[in-house]
Structure 1
């Protein structure tokens, strides 16, 4: 039988996959087998079996090649590919990349600064090792029909708590109020803030001793210095055992040097600590007073024992004062309680006996602002990514057509998102380092970047992760959902519904921005409203300073010399400063008073010239005068007191104080001595004795410049007090300090509002660029048909203007609701006017139009020939 050739294509496959000798050998074997099968089963069947045998031989080789060709890349390779493509896209679209990275960087910078500020607030006082077990002993008392909470305590309260509730507490410490003290070492005189503590004070606070021990305050004539003060006085010498003078009275020995306290502690300004026993020596009246439980002049701090909770300890001591006071004092319903150190900074406000919060409201406020500003930046990323969807649709379609699955596309877009976020984070860190000093200045902080805190970096990684996820999720899932068939056939259209999410996000952006703008305006109005409030005296040209003993002993001579030199117009002394209340008293009675009403009023003892010096306004009766000897037993009251007493004409009425009769000789305008945001308390003024101690107020001569007057005052001061630094302060500066907290909040809110608007406008600018690019041919056709630049500008800007107006409508009620709630905290407050919302809306609209107009006019001025050339 004649030989038959096997199928040629199968033979060729053998030679493609095998080397020549092996292929020829295999071909010979298969050919012999093929000829045998032809004889046995026929030609057709033999050919199928020949192909089967060849495939069987080639299968292992084919599988190896397939595995080699199509083996999955490693995760590292995939990630590198994703990042490479992402980097190319960023470089290819520089404007888009700048807007995204810049917007996110600004948002992250704001969020980081706010985060550092919040961390500083919530970690306040954590420098002290036992801060969660330390508390200030406070008391509630019912005065004038309202519950008042105060930190001042009787000097006998601490010893009483130790005696009766010793096992409940680890330490109970009496302390003075912080004050400025002159330290003298030879001819070197410095003024530093200090405090008097019982010996357990330093160990309770956990001060970090650099030299000496905690037991240094056991000697009544000892002193502990902060490290900076010790260095300024002694340089590199060892200060232990050295003697200083406090004022000019007492020589004290340095028994300890402690590390300067950080700025975020309640005792941050305490640079000097002296023994409580020395304070009692300097103020002997504290031990000899007739009613020791009726005078609140000291502070009391305590550390609860380890086996008891703060609440239990507070409950045990609540009646410790009530059990010791007289029947008259018991009418105040004294309740002693503990205010934990962990709440001093954030929960320091009490209203009618209830802790209503405090600084914590600003922690929440700025925390929410930080989140919103970051969300605004993320919205820019999402909006710009989806706005570019038509340009990237073909990319998605082609990649899907060549085998990319949706998960790979999602990973690609997330890679782009995380690359942008990581670059933005690096830029944000640099911005934070640059902006931290001015931010500290505004916020009255000393915040440092947390380089050495692992928690910060862990939070930063989580921050990047969450931001990348938030910013990239919508583009990733949206763009990866495009169908390749419709994209590549050219029938893909984004559609009108695809723009709705972008428009909603733009509305959200401007809603937040407009709320911040309205809030900034209202905060500014509230501050100005309080600043413009009548203060009851003329603060222009008023200077205040302390009264040294030499001045008190020669008060009349000092006053006469200043006046004859033309330095001042008048001078007076009071036991309380003009801008504060340091003394209140009870024990008052008058005709028609409710016998069950317990009262307590600010009561200032002043010299005769007080009214003339401060320029108060006498509404009824007359001022104090040296011509009336009876004025030593007279009161001048303010208008709030007149209203409280219920007298239509109080002049001549008798007001008893501890059963001693005083005649009301005058009524003056309410003097703003305390917070300008709250009502002035009913107050009294009476003539001081011959001991002129307290605060001196001087009215500078109007005919001389302040510098000339101050120089003359200092010259005469040094004549009387040569070894004490001359220190003074203008009253308007002290009064201005009352607005610092609100001004700080207003300034920060204004900056955040500006940044929010900037981020929103950055996104609007980017979107306007893409809208103008997408509508290039439409603009060209309209120009050919006669449309003017104004017509085209209106066409491109009206959509954005409508979105901003919608945001204004949404933002206005939200802002009104929250700002009304904020203003309720102030008794003296501004009313929210309708024009504030109009101004905010007009401002946002104007900024938007300016932002969009650049791209709109640029697109409208393009030559239509260039736009339509591709058609």
Structure 2
């Protein structure tokens, strides 16, 4: 019997080639999109899940209370890990992780900056980063030890065993290679090329030894039988027990959650990359549903062609469940064929998809879970798409169909129209989402940041430049292409340092306000292109400026000062005068609002982080050549490197750009799949109304009249789809925009464009069949009458 069913299914597919092709192509595209998104989702959801002790690993987080609201940080006191294991017995191990550093590695004549971290000796015992050479238990115990990646081992010691070899760091100190890492998993959110002793770093950074200063991350590993709730209660006021002036409350976040749940608002978890995971999971479902609706509509519409077959089968004794099984089996066969084509599409598109998403996704047919997922996707698609046609066909009455008088009941017609409305409603929602995402990204990239990011470069202030900056600056100013030079503790786009240690006359002593702070040198405002609202910039003509301050408008607002210039304020116990106020400018991501900012002058031998250079417009090439020449003169033992501020700004929103592109591609495919179904329905409708069209032509109807007649019913359905989709799309995209502190308003014309575009696409899809039917010779359609 099954063999007979397979023969019937194949004959029906072959007999109705066009409809079979539309069905298979629609399902294949829908399944391919869903499969691509599934691979991406699987990679996202499996991030950091490979650590053997993963369920016991947590990152210590801080909630600090400022101006009545909690602000969440991942930064902690630099000495937290060495105390917390002694004071809280449920914590088995802890490690501090300093933010990514890029010291200079030198081996013989080979030197280059490398990315890595300073960590405590237990880091490799807590996390599963296996060593190819060396002992993980002891590799980081030496203060002068370094663990390097296979890449660095091949670069610096290509034909030697790297263990025991010496690497010079920043032309100052030597370290010995104590281990070589195996390849780090692509699913790790922690990426590095070397690990060095945190204890060694701590000795040269005294500020990190104070409980009131935050910087490094802190990870802990709980005992296997520890209660997380109990540890949370113990750790909450831990900093307060060490520092009476602290307003910090600690809590633990599972390391496995850090990648996806990184955003916090008012001390409460508020999404992160999980928002994109949910968005694309929803898109995958939408596209698969659209493909299934195509199948339902086309199969139901074509049922009239197989009505007599059902009638005959029922007459000779076929029961309903056997007919349901037969038609579901046919839909499963089509779904399986669609899966084969979907796998081919995914295989061909994966290289481009990986390039866009910067992942290493692949089709792993050796993975039982992956095979089970493919099987499940095929079964679900086949059953969902074939369910209604199977139930509808099996319900036909033999006495009716064998008379040739089969007519669709109003309920069946309404259901089919409802499917079209639902299908195009989803497509219109995707179009609106595509428009909103594109406009938001465009808005971010074109927004005035309050400073001029064009023709602005920066490079690290390191080596001899730290002690010879003024001479280096003077050298640059005398060279071609250079307009202005300054230096800053932070880079132009990221002022990460903040403080609550600010006092001024009239301050409410019961409140602590968090201020961003940045140390700068002369000409900072000029070089950055920041507008001065009142007062002046730091100047060598005023010796007292080493203790003075420049603030932004938001800081003046927080201080309650209308005319702050000339008034005194104190930061970190250092009293000075506010000599200038600048207009607000963005110092961090546009996901965040503008923070109150205090600029203070470089004090003593304070090591600022970046040299900032403003180039002459149109002379970037000459300016870079000048920077290279001056750098090599003052700092010959370091490699010359620089960054363009506008390029780094674009890189900050790379994730949003990827989302925007993916949304565009998937919206286009959703529309295309919908059009396949609409094309098939238009073909069927035209075929069913052939004689009617012939009669109308004989009576004088024009091609335009007939085309309009056949098209208007479909356009009505698309317009109804738009009416339903508009409020839903507005609600979903309004929620998506809430994560941006600076965002666009959803305009009425977004919906107009989406509606008009959907109607035009539907009209173009339907009009081909309508015009084809209208151009037919009525003699052929009426010759049997």
Map 1:613-632 to 2 at 5 A.
613-632=527-546
Structure 1: distance between partners of 2:156 and 2:173? 17
Map 1:723-734 to 2 at 5 A.
723-734=637-648
Q: Which residue of 1 aligns with 2:582?
A: 668
Which of 109, 119, 122 does residue 187 from structure 1 map onto?
109
Structure 1: distance between partners of 2:446 and 2:229? 43
Structure 1: distance between partners of 2:84 and 2:16? 72
Q: Which residue of 2 aligns with 1:592?
A: 506
TM-score relative to the length of structure 1: 0.88
1:846: how far off? 0.8
Which of 475, 486, 493 does residue 389 from structure 2 map onto?
475
Mind listing any 5+ residue stretches in structure 2 that lack a counterpart?
none
Map 1:755-770 to 2 at 5 A.
755-770=669-684
Map 1:388-407 to 2 at 5 A.
388-407=302-321
Give per-residue Cα distances to partners, 1:515-566, cap 9 Å, x unaligned.
1111121222222333343211111111111111211122122112222121
- C-alpha contact (below 8 Å) 2:490/2:610 kept by paired residues: no
Map 1:346-361 to 2 at 5 A.
346-361=260-275
Map 1:400-479 to 2 at 5 A.
400-479=314-393
Structure 1: distance between partners of 2:748 and 2:546? 53
Give per-residue Cα distances to partners, 1:422-466, cap 9 Å, x unaligned.
011111111112222222233333323232210111122122111
Question: Greater CA deviation, 430-439 or 725-734?
Answer: 430-439
Q: Which residue of 1 aligns with 2:78?
A: 155
Asked whether 1:321 is paired with 2:239, we answer yes
Give per-residue Cα distances to partners, 1:380-407, cap 9 Å, x unaligned.
0110001111111122223333443333
Structure 2: distance between partners of 1:475 and 1:371? 21
Which of 154, 169, 178 does residue 91 from structure 2 map onto?
169
Give per-residue Cα distances to partners, 1:56-106, cap 9 Å, x unaligned.
xxxxxxxxxxxxxxxxxxxxxx22221222112112222111111111011
Bigger Rg over Cα: 1
Q: Which residue of 2 aligns with 1:273?
A: 195
Q: Which residue of 1 aligns with 2:473?
A: 559
Q: Which residue of 2 aligns with 1:603?
A: 517
- C-alpha contact (below 8 Å) 2:455/2:617 kept by paired residues: no
Structure 1: distance between partners of 2:395 and 2:207? 84
Give per-residue Cα distances to partners, 1:608-631, cap 9 Å, x unaligned.
111111111001112221112221
Structure 1 residues 259 and 120: alpha-carbon distance in aligned structure 2, compared to 1, 3 A threshold = same
Give per-residue Cα distances to partners, 1:467-500, cap 9 Å, x unaligned.
1111111111111222222222222222444211
1:352: how far off? 1.0
Map 1:614-763 to 2 at 5 A.
614-691=528-605, 693-702=607-616, 705-763=619-677
TM-score relative to the length of structure 2: 0.97
Structure 1: distance between partners of 2:419 and 2:664? 23
Mind listing any 5+ residue stretches in structure 1 that lack a counterpart?
1-77
Structure 1 residues 94 and 200: alpha-carbon distance in aligned structure 2, compared to 1, 3 A threshold = same
1:586: how far off? 2.3
Asked whether 1:123 is paired with 2:46, we answer yes
Q: Which residue of 2 aligns with 1:300?
A: 218
Q: Which residue of 1 aligns with 2:720?
A: 806
Structure 2: distance between partners of 1:500 and 1:282? 76
1:293: how far off? 1.0
Structure 2: distance between partners of 1:513 and 1:777? 33
Question: Greater CA deviation, 254-263 or 503-512?
Answer: 254-263
Map 1:209-248 to 2 at 5 A.
209-214=131-136, 215-248=138-171
Structure 2: distance between partners of 1:716 and 1:672? 30
- SS of residue paired to 2:576: strand
Question: Greater CA deviation, 482-491 or 533-542?
Answer: 482-491
Structure 2: distance between partners of 1:690 and 1:661? 16
- C-alpha contact (below 8 Å) 1:542/1:697 kept by paired residues: no
- C-alpha contact (below 8 Å) 1:571/1:696 kept by paired residues: no
Structure 1: distance between partners of 2:176 and 2:717? 72
Give per-residue Cα distances to partners, 1:312-356, cap 9 Å, x unaligned.
222211111101113xx23x2x11111111210121111111112
1:690: how far off? 4.2
1:239: how far off? 1.2
Structure 2: distance between partners of 1:622 and 1:202? 51
Structure 1 residues 356 and 297: alpha-carbon distance in aligned structure 2, compared to 1, 3 A threshold = same
- C-alpha contact (below 8 Å) 1:792/1:856 kept by paired residues: yes
Q: Which residue of 2 aligns with 1:30?
A: none
- C-alpha contact (below 8 Å) 2:528/2:614 kept by paired residues: no
- SS of residue paired to 1:419: helix
- C-alpha contact (below 8 Å) 1:547/1:692 kept by paired residues: no
Asked whether 1:310 is paired with 2:210, we answer no
